[in-house]
């Protein structure tokens, strides 16, 4: 059977999609566009923001695969013209779902702030003309110049505060996320992570980052597992998003694996998550 899935067009997704089996076609788009494509049946599964998996009744996610960070993330950053504890207005990134919620949770929990918000395209100078601070995600978040600004790495802030990883995205679907497709997605991740070094030259050419930054980001910064610790982090994130009125309620999604077991699986990634070199 042939499948069609949707992936974010960012560097962090490369190990999950670069070695996709021939029976799976990948469409690329920003994460905020995927819920509609999934709902319409255009796509069988989407690599979508984790908040969507929490607030979508009956959601399924593929076992053993995520885009996560264990500490810093580098590609999801808050840029502020004032000290972080003095932010009164915030521009959110229109490309984002999960990160927009997370930044508001962190500002509320760490600084007691609930700034006014608006949503704009990811253009930092324009965003900072509208508010004290701005959030950027993905490759834009990595490229943005934080010189003379107060910068918060959302992955690092979450990890330091909770001691947990943060799950940015998962393969999400409904009935059409079958055990067969879940197995193909896990196979693609395993193959991609085992062959990370071979992916670096193509990623450098495609995204324009240096070879060292690309290798470090894919090998050490990002984590592609989905373990019990990751689900503990998802639960904490859902509770906090509900507390601050960012979602009405949440439930953990069903885990679909190639063996059709609906339990939490830990896949051993070929890369060990070591400290940043």
In tens, the pLDDT along 3-44 reads 999 998 889 999 999 999 999 999 998 777 787 888 888 999
Confidence band of 262 (pLDDT split at 50, 70, 90): very low
Average pLDDT, rounded, for the chain: 89
CB 92 within 8 A of CB 118: yes
Q: How far, CA to CA in Å, does 23 sit from each of 26, 64, 125, 184?
A: 10, 20, 42, 9
Other CB atoms closer than 10 Å to residue 262's CB: what's the count? Answer: 11
What predicted TM-score, i.e. pTM, was given to this entire model?
A: 0.88
C-alpha–C-alpha distance, residues 262 and 264, integer Å: 7
C-alpha–C-alpha distance, residues 170 and 65, integer Å: 7
Mean pLDDT, range 96-118, rounded to an integer: 96
Q: Tell me how far apart the terminal alpha carbons of the chain are, to the nearest angstrom.
A: 42
Confidence band of 152 (pLDDT split at 50, 70, 90): very high
Q: Which of 129, 79, 126 is nearest to 99 (CA)?
A: 79
Given this model, what pLDDT does residue 176 score? 92
Percent of the chain scoring above 70 in pLDDT: 93
Q: Summarize pLDDT for 70-83 with one digit per residue, the tens.
A: 999 999 999 999 99
Mean pLDDT, range 87-106, rounded to an integer: 94
Percent of the chain scoring above 90 in pLDDT: 78
């Amino acid at each position: 059977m042939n499948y069609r899935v949707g992936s974010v067009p960012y560097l962090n997704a490369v190990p999950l999609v670069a070695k996709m089996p021939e029976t799976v076609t990948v469409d690329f788009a920003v994460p905020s566009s995927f819920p509609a494509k999934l709902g319409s049946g255009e796509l069988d599964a989407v690599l979508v923001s984790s908040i969507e998996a929490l607030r979508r009744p009956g959601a399924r996610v593929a076992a053993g695969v995520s885009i996560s960070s264990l500490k810093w993330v580098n590609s999801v950053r808050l840029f502020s013209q004032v000290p972080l504890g003095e932010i009164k207005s915030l521009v959110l990134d229109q490309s984002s779902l999960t990160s927009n919620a997370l930044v508001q949770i962190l500002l509320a929990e760490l600084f007691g702030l609930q700034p006014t918000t608006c949503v704009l395209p990811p253009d930092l100078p324009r965003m900072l003309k509208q508010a004290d601070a701005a959030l950027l995600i993905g490759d834009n978040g990595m490229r943005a110049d934080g010189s003379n600004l107060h910068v918060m790495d959302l992955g690092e802030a979450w990890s330091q505060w909770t001691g947990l990883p943060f799950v940015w995205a998962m393969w999400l679907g409904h009935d059409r996320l079958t055990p067969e497709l879940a197995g193909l997605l896990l196979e693609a991740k395993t193959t991609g992570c085992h062959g990370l070094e071979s992916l670096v030259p193509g990623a450098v050419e495609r995204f324009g980052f240096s070879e060292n930054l690309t290798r470090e980001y894919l090998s050490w910064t990002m984590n592609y597992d989905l373990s019990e610790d990751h689900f503990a982090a998802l639960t904490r994130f859902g509770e906090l998003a509900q507390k601050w009125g960012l979602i009405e309620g949440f439930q953990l999604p069903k885990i679909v694996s190639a063996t059709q077991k609906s339990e939490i699986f830990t896949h051993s990634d070929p890369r060990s998550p070591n400290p940043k070199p």
